[in-house]
């Protein structure tokens, strides 16, 4: 025990000392970033080589040459069959050794479609569907047109960099005349090109400089957004005079806000948006990447500069991607609408699968629940205070000395009994499994990895050893399929005997976090499967870890949808896991950033995102705690979590009024679960994000571009949480549908009060208010009988809330299945479409209802009628029945229609 505490203190000490801002590189401290950033614009060295063009039915290839050093590159351009998308690949024609290509990010290899090619004077036009790419040979650039409108330009700024692999300078014989010629035009003189030091860490860089970089301009855009994960605004800021945004999966201790510093995840997709068009680029590269942003700053200085220089038009917004190694593999997504372009991205990398219902409900976590009794008591208290809760979480202290797949036998002597108890209440448990493996000869996992050579290796071929929660630790090489198979097999009931198939998994620290490593991670010259350097694959490590976990959970129970939470992520990880924003802090700024960060993740494929409710570090006061629950209740992933050094903060430990506000917020979440579940089904089917920025549906509303303190859930709800201390009012922005400043009609979800004006509206709030509005024109399914866990509400009746638009119409969907298995993929589900028009509500099945349920509709609420109906008539199978209509808030409620969700029906209002 004492030793364990000592090690823990040592660990925290190590951790706290290893991480402040100066322990992470700036661009200037990174040789490749310096080199790429120093490339002068408007003077590209690259040109296509005449006579090397090959035209195929679905692609073209040509040689690209660096004009000074004459090095040759091969270029390939494909038009992708589905979605308005092109793929551009550039690699060395004959590299000294192969360069890394990402393969695990895409859901499958995208099929190229047929193209038409027209050769012109020094340029080439490639038509794919209604899109075209115009390739200019010299100076090299490509212009992409969607429906004849120039939407994305590649290398328009001339910042293309492709550092070819080369022998180390001293290995090059100086007496060879050839060598001298190459040297003069091809020297890379940056002192960090062949080896680099940062703090006490040395990077041996055996392959020398091998960076790739390219710029993308968006002529139709006014703002750029994307490239999570950063604790910054949704719209990207200009990097002029600052560091570029950095993508390098890193465990940052107490991360700061309004920062371009790298965080735990890297998703290299970036969008350009303007009133008429949205387009994107997906830069598929897993090495460390920096992104410079060129946007006209809306500030006095730039207007003065423009005034002085007499320029009326500034350059279009642009982004400059710079990666340390790999190849150029980029998808150009041509939109034209925001939803189109988000779908084009998920068409490539996949959408998040429909989770089990419990995963969308409320999760209770802390570092740590300390024993089975502790778990039992917390679960019981939720019942005592009548607060719904579906899932209890265990952080690292449940293990036997941070040996994953084992239990601390003193604190958790009967885990199966604990799970059985939770299951009886309809509850679940999630336990943490991290990738660092304790170097302990008695630990089976370590023994297996050592004997079978499953760890990531050093340059000398030894097992790499770092320092993390267990003390000395090694890191399985998840890039090796054999390692993933071994790891997955550990989840089999025959191996992991102390968990049931309902226990789900949290993968943390998988950047990977290495307390004593450079920038708290693994050195770049470590070696992975296939002889790739960690440098080439760093941002994918967590992704490969999660793939192994997903396989493990499926192997354990092929018919149950796995639930995984991961901290590290890359493009495509959304196919396997949900994410959260990592180790945030209990302050108002972090609460506000939880929205901005999840919005950026949502447009990058990660709809299932949330932040630690209450804040991980520090102790929230009652007001912040309550406001955080109110906000978290409307974010996709909803979990309270806290650091081991914080005070216990279960809701009943706060004063009664706070406890009741928290209870109320969680109960609101449960009431909306049918909507959440329907939205996540539709997300899986369409790839459209669940959580959306205003511009997704109001692309012309420029005021809305920079509003990232409110958001949409699909196009049905507008959420504007209270996120300021002492607020007695909030300024809600109702977006406008066109430039004439007319908007939709919105209804307060509690009072059904109607708002008809676009623009800012100052609304009074009290401590209980969560400003959320339903859009006129939508129908939302809810359940209003709240139980202790969502899993117990499966057969409960539905309420439909019909909010009418200006024309008196509305529609909405409801999706129902067993909430747990994959039977829905074989058609066992019901998918209903409700439509209201001319005073009449109709239901249709979007496909044949195949899931048996006793659930029924107990109430229909209608808001926005211009007359009050006297009664209603229900018509089912030709039989009519009168129903009572009662006033309800600022609308009406039709009581007890009592219709099964498996029946077709009509409800007619009688005026």
Ligand X SMILES: *[C@@H]1O[C@H](CO)[C@@H](O)[C@H](O)[C@H]1NC(C)=O
Residues within window 524-543 making contact with ligand X, judged by CB under 6 A: none
CB of 392 to ligand X, least distance (A): 11
Of 329, 273, 419, nearest to 87 (Cα)?
329
> Closer CB to ligand X, residue 131 or residue 406?
406
Residues within window 193-222 making contact with ligand X, judged by CB under 6 A: none
> Closer CB to ligand X, residue 411 or residue 538?
411
CB of 505 to ligand X, least distance (A): 20
d(CA 154, CA 145): 12
Map tokens 């100076």 to a residue: 139
d(CA 353, CA 356): 9
Q: Does residue 553 contact residue 505 with C-beta atoms inside 8 Å?
A: yes
Map tokens 């406890």 to a residue: 659
CB of 476 to ligand X, least distance (A): 31
Q: Does residue 527 contact residue 459 with C-beta atoms inside 8 Å?
A: yes
Q: Residue 483 carries which DSSP code?
A: H
The torsion angles phi and psi of 370, rounded to 5 degrees, stand at -90, -15
> Residue 360 interacts with ligand X (CB under 6 A)?
no
> Closer CB to ligand X, residue 394 or residue 626?
394
Which pair of tokens denotes residue 44?
A: 């590209």
CB of 500 to ligand X, least distance (A): 13
> Closer CB to ligand X, residue 327 or residue 418?
418
CB of 375 to ligand X, least distance (A): 7
**Active-site choice (583, 701, 708, 748):** 583
d(CA 97, CA 541): 22
CB of 788 to ligand X, least distance (A): 15
Q: Residue 652 carries which DSSP code?
A: G
Q: Does residue 396 contact residue 367 with C-beta atoms inside 8 Å?
A: yes
d(CA 367, CA 588): 22
Q: What angle do CA 809, 740, 224 make, to 5 degrees?
A: 100
Between strands 116-119 and 123-128, the pairing is antiparallel
x/- track of binding to ligand X for residues 399-428 (CB under 6 A): ---------------x--xx--x-------
> Residue 384 interacts with ligand X (CB under 6 A)?
no
| Residues linked to residue 429 through DSSP beta bridges, in sequence order | 392
Candidate residues 297, 372, 374, 890; the one interacting with ligand X per rule CB under 6 A: 372
Element housing 452 (H / E): helix 444-452
Element housing 555 (H / E): helix 541-556
CB of 372 to ligand X, least distance (A): 4
Element housing 196 (H / E): strand 196-198
Q: How far is CA 363 from the centre of its chain?
A: 19
> Closer CB to ligand X, residue 376 or residue 703?
376
Which pair of tokens denotes residue 551?
A: 């396989």
> Residue 173 interacts with ligand X (CB under 6 A)?
no
Q: Which residues, 6 or more positions from 100, have their beta carbon under 8 angstroms from its beta carbon?
A: 286, 287, 325, 326, 327, 532, 536, 537
CB of 650 to ligand X, least distance (A): 17
Count of residues engaged in binding ligand X, rule: CB under 6 A: 6
Buried b / exposed e over 33-58, threshold 16 CB at 10 Å, is bbbbbebeeeebbbbbbeeebeeeee
Map tokens 């089917």 to a residue: 685
CB of 364 to ligand X, least distance (A): 16
> Closer CB to ligand X, residue 503 or residue 526?
503
CB of 496 to ligand X, least distance (A): 18
Q: Which residues, 6 or more positions from 69, have their beta carbon under 8 angstroms from its beta carbon?
A: 164, 182, 185, 186
DSSP string computed for 599-629: HHHHTTT--SEE-EET-SBS---HHHHHHHH
Active site residue 657: no
**Active-site choice (329, 390, 463, 508):** 508
> Closer CB to ligand X, residue 417 or residue 827?
417
Residue of closest CB approach to ligand X: 417
> Closer CB to ligand X, residue 185 or residue 414?
414
Candidate residues 376, 724, 796, 818; the one interacting with ligand X per rule CB under 6 A: 376
65 burial level (CB within 10 Å; 0-12, 13-18, 19+): buried
CB of 421 to ligand X, least distance (A): 4
> Residue 715 interacts with ligand X (CB under 6 A)?
no
Buried b / exposed e over 309-335, threshold 16 CB at 10 Å, is eeeeeeebbbbbbbbbbbbbbbbbbbb
CB of 422 to ligand X, least distance (A): 9
> Residue 377 interacts with ligand X (CB under 6 A)?
no
> Residue 493 interacts with ligand X (CB under 6 A)?
no
Q: Does residue 638 contact residue 613 with C-beta atoms inside 8 Å?
A: yes
CA atoms within 13 A on the CB side of 432: 23
Active site residue 583: yes
> Residue 374 interacts with ligand X (CB under 6 A)?
no
Gyration radius of the chain's alpha carbons: 28
Q: Which residues, 6 or more positions from 253, have their beta carbon under 8 angstroms from its beta carbon?
A: 15, 16, 18, 19, 20, 520, 583
> Closer CB to ligand X, residue 419 or residue 608?
419
> Residue 498 interacts with ligand X (CB under 6 A)?
no
> Closer CB to ligand X, residue 369 or residue 698?
369
What's the 3-state SS for 384-417? HCCCCCCEEEECHHHCECCECCCCCCCCCCCHHH
DSSP string computed for 249-261: ----TTPPSS---
d(CA 889, CA 861): 10
> Closer CB to ligand X, residue 14 or residue 376?
376
CB of 642 to ligand X, least distance (A): 22
> Closer CB to ligand X, residue 421 or residue 516?
421
> Closer CB to ligand X, residue 421 or residue 686?
421
Residues classed as catalytic: 508, 583
Which residues contribute to the site for ligand X (CB under 6 A)? 372, 376, 414, 417-418, 421
């Amino acid at each position: 025990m004492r030793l364990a505490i000592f090690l823990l203190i040592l660990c925290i000490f190590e951790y706290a000392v290893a991480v402040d801002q100066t322990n992470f590189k700036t661009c200037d401290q990174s040789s490749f970033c310096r080199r790429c950033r120093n490339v002068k614009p408007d003077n590209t060295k690259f040109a296509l080589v005449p006579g090397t063009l090959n035209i195929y039915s679905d692609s073209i290839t040509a040689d690209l040459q660096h004009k000074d050093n004459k090095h040759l590159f091969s270029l390939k351009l494909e038009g992708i069959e589905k979605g308005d998308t092109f793929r551009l690949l550039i690699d060395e024609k004959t590299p000294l050794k192969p360069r890394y290509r990402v393969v695990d990010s895409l859901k499958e290899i995208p099929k190229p479609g047929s193209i038409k090619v027209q050769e012109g004077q020094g340029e080439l036009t490639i038509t794919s569907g209604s899109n075209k790419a115009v390739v200019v040979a010299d100076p090299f650039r490509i212009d992409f047109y969607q429906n004849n409108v120039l939407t994305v330009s590649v290398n328009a700024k001339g910042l293309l960099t492709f550092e070819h692999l080369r022998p180390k300078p001293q290995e090059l014989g100086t007496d060879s005349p050839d060598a001298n010629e190459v040297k003069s035009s091809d020297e890379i003189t940056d002192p960090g090109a062949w080896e680099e030091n940062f703090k006490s860490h040395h990077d041996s860089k055996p392959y020398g400089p091998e960076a790739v970089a390219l710029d993308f301009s968006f002529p139709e855009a006014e703002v750029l957004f994307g490239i999570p994960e950063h604790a910054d605004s949704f719209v990207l800021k200009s990097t002029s005079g600052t560091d570029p945004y950095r993508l390098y999966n890193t465990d940052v201790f107490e991360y700061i806000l309004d920062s371009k510093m790298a965080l735990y995840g890297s998703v290299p997709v970036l969008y350009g948006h303007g009133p008429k068009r949205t387009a994107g680029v997906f830069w598929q590269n897993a090495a460390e990447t920096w992104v410079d942003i060129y946007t006209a700053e809306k500030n006095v200085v730039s207007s003065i500069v423009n005034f002085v220089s007499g320029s009326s038009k500034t350059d279009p917004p642009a982004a400059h991607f710079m990666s340390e190694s790999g190849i150029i593999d980029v998808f150009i997504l041509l939109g034209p609408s925001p939803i189109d372009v988000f779908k084009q991205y998920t068409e490539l990398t996949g959408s998040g699968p429909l989770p089990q219902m419990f995963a969308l409900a409320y999760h209770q976590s802390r570092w740590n629940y300390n024993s089975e009794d502790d778990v039992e008591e917390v679960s019981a208290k939720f019942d005592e205070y009548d607060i719904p809760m579906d899932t209890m979480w265990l952080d690292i202290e449940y293990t036997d000395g941070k040996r994953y797949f084992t239990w601390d036998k003193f604190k958790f002597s009967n885990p199966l009994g604990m799970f059985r108890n939770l299951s009886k209440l309809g509850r679940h448990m999630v336990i943490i499994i991290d990738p660092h493996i304790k170097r302990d000869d008695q630990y089976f996992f370590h023994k297996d990895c050592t004997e079978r050579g499953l760890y990531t290796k050093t340059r000398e071929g030894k097992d790499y050893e770092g320092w993390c929660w267990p003390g000395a630790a090694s890191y399985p090489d998840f890039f090796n399929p054999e390692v993933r198979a071994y790891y997955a097999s550990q989840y089999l009931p025959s191996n992991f005997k102390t968990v049931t198939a309902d226990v789900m998994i949290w993968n943390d620290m998988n950047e990977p976090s290495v307390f004593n490593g450079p920038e708290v991670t693994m050195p770049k010259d470590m070696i992975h499967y296939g002889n790739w350097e960690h440098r080439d694959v760093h941002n994918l490590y967590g992704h490969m870890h999660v793939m192994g976990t997903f396989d493990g959970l499926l192997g354990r129970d092929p018919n149950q949808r796995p639930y995984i939470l991961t901290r590290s992520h890359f493009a495509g990880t959304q196919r396997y896991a949900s994410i959260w924003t990592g180790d945030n802090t209990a302050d108002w700024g972090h609460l506000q950033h939880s929205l901005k960060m999840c919005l950026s993740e949502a447009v990058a494929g990660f709809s299932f995102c949330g932040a630690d409710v209450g804040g991980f570090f520090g102790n929230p006061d009652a007001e912040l705690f309550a406001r955080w629950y109110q906000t978290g209740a409307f974010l996709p992933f909803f979990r309270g979590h806290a650091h081991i050094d914080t005070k216990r903060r279960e809701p009943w430990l706060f004063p009664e009024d706070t406890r009741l506000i928290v209870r109320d917020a969680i109960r609101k979440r449960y009431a909306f679960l049918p909507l959440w579940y329907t939205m996540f089904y539709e997300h899986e089917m369409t790839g459209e994000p669940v959580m959306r920025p205003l511009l997704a549906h109001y692309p012309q509303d420029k005021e809305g571009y920079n509003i990232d303190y409110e958001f949409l859930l699909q196009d049905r709800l507008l959420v504007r949480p209270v996120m300021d201390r002492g607020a007695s009012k909030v300024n809600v922005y109702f977006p406008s549908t066109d430039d004439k400043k007319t908007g939709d009609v919105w209804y307060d979800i509690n009072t059904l009060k109607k708002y008809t004006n676009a623009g800012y509206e100052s609304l009074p709030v009290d401590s209980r208010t969560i400003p959320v509005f339903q859009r006129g024109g939508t129908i939302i399914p809810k359940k209003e009988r709240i139980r202790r866990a969502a899993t117990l509400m499966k057969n409960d009746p539905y309420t439909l809330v019909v909010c009418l638009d200006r024309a008196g119409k509305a529609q909405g969907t409801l999706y129902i299945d067993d909430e747990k298995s994959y039977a829905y993929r074989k058609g066992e589900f019901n998918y209903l479409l409700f439509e209201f028009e001319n005073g009449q509500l109709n239901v249709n099945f979007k496909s044949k209802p195949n899931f048996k349920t006793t659930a029924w509709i107990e109430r229909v609420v209608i808001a926005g009628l211009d007359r009050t109906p006297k009664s209603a008539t229900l018509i089912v199978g030709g039989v009519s029945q009168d129903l009572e209509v009662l006033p309800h808030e600022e609308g009406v409620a039709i009581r007890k229609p009592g219709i099964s969700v498996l029946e077709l029906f009509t409800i007619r209002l009688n005026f």
